[in-house]
Amino acid sequence: MPVRARLLREPQRDQIVEAIGKAGLDPGAFDLADDGVEFRIEHTLSTSCFTIYRDATWRFHGTYFVGYSPERPFDRSWRTVIPLVGEWLAELKCDLDPPDL
């Protein structure tokens, strides 16, 4: 069976790993899976997930959610995907570390 090309290039994957670190989260707590059609960022200690796929025009689409919140779709250029990943990671961090009352 032929091996499918990866959806994201190595520099794009590196940007995601860098965003995880910048958010103050452990990259080892994430499963990054690329089957050539879809790239998934799953937080292994929660139900949170960020999914990316690309259309024929090279726009990136997908969904993301934190915990049990509803899935939110997106349609963006790569340039704006990484900031969105950062927002998702910040929301995830808040969900994992609720403020002390």
For 4-18, write each residue's pLDDT tens digit: 789 999 999 999 999
In this structure, is residue 97 part of a structural domain?
no
Q: What mean pLDDT comes out for the span 25-33?
A: 96
Q: How many structural domains comprise the chain?
A: 1
In this structure, is residue 55 part of a structural domain?
yes
Tens of pLDDT, residue by residue over 47-93, are 899 999 999 888 999 999 999 999 999 999 999 999 999 999 999 99
Q: What mean pLDDT comes out for the span 30-52?
A: 95
Q: Residue 100: its pLDDT value, please?
A: 64
Half-sphere exposure of 48 (CA within 13 A, CB side): 18
Neighbours of 36 (CB within 10 A): 12
* Domain span including residue 33: 10-91
In this structure, is residue 96 part of a structural domain?
no
Q: Residue 44: its pLDDT value, please?
A: 95
In this structure, is residue 2 part of a structural domain?
no
Q: Residue 5: its pLDDT value, please?
A: 85
Contact 29, 38 (CB under 8 A): no
